[in-house]
Structure 1
Amino acid sequence: MSLTAVLAGCERPTAVRADAGPASRGETDYAAAPSSDPVPRAENADGRRPADRAEAPAPLLDGRPLWTSSRRGSAEENARRAFARNGDSFGASSLEAYVRKARTFIDAPPAGAQRLTRRNGDVLLYHPASNTFAVASREGAPRAFFHPDEGAAYWEAQKARETQRRTARAGSDRASEG
């Protein structure tokens, strides 16, 4: 006996109602809805779309990657998000202007800027006089560029976090050797 036949014996007529999809249940079918994403989807060299946004090729600006990608978004999405949040505080009138300001800070940090390199090659920079913080990938692509609300305390927290990571990593390395 089929499930439909069993359910047909129910007192609730909705138990056997044909499912017309998410719209019949008052839901939205996001997979069928047109994408509202203004960023064109990039394809790999073989013509397939990357499953992970981090795999998407980064658009180039002046021959260099625009920004870094992440699990959260493509390079362009991340750059747009950073610009929307922080562009005004740097006087950047466009995404390109914001990215160029980030690159200038990363490529030639002002005198007095402090630097920290993570194990993965990311470079963290903080300039106390301007309260400017940036992170760049080992390839030099911006990952973050903003004025921390907490000022120097934010930088100190970043240094402490990195020290803690290195200490934890060193401890696990010693444990695996023993």
Structure 2
Amino acid sequence: MTTDRLEQIDEKLTVILVPGLRDSDEDHWQSCWHRRFPLWKRIRQRNWLEPDIDGWISAIRREHFTSQHPAILVGHSFGALAACRLVQTQKLAIAGLILVAPAEPALFELEDSVLPEKLNTPSVMLVSRNDPLMSFKRAQFWAECWGARLIDTGDSGHINTAAGFGEWEYGLMQLAEFCESL
């Protein structure tokens, strides 16, 4: 059911996956989703180890440039921060953001880059109560600042392979519902 719903969305929106540092390994939910939905785009980087927010933004822009439809950015961790920074600073046809386990901006000295201000596009944050890269309290703070709807995924770690997130149907269901609401 979710697959059919998402394939219909492909007709009017472009999904761009934005992994965090070190990319997403082959068992990570972003990689699983990309295999399942090969029309979705995924940013490419020369250096996945350097937390260069401008490099991430350039990679998003490259993928967006080849899109025929407004984009939904699906960012994980540092990739979520890059997606936020992009919509805070640039005018592109971004229909919405799905921010999964965003990292605390201060961990990367991005307090002056990723701002605590309302995003100019609809957004959803899927967050964990025990994420090592952002406390739940801070996630609530950022969701309120950004105007994002917060979805509490419970004790889910960093919502990555190490925390047991592979295919992650629940995440796909949330993405489908979000896209249908736009």
TM-score (norm 2): 0.21
Q: Which has the higher contact order (CA 8 A, sep 6+)?
A: 2
TM-score (norm 1): 0.21
Rg larger for: 1
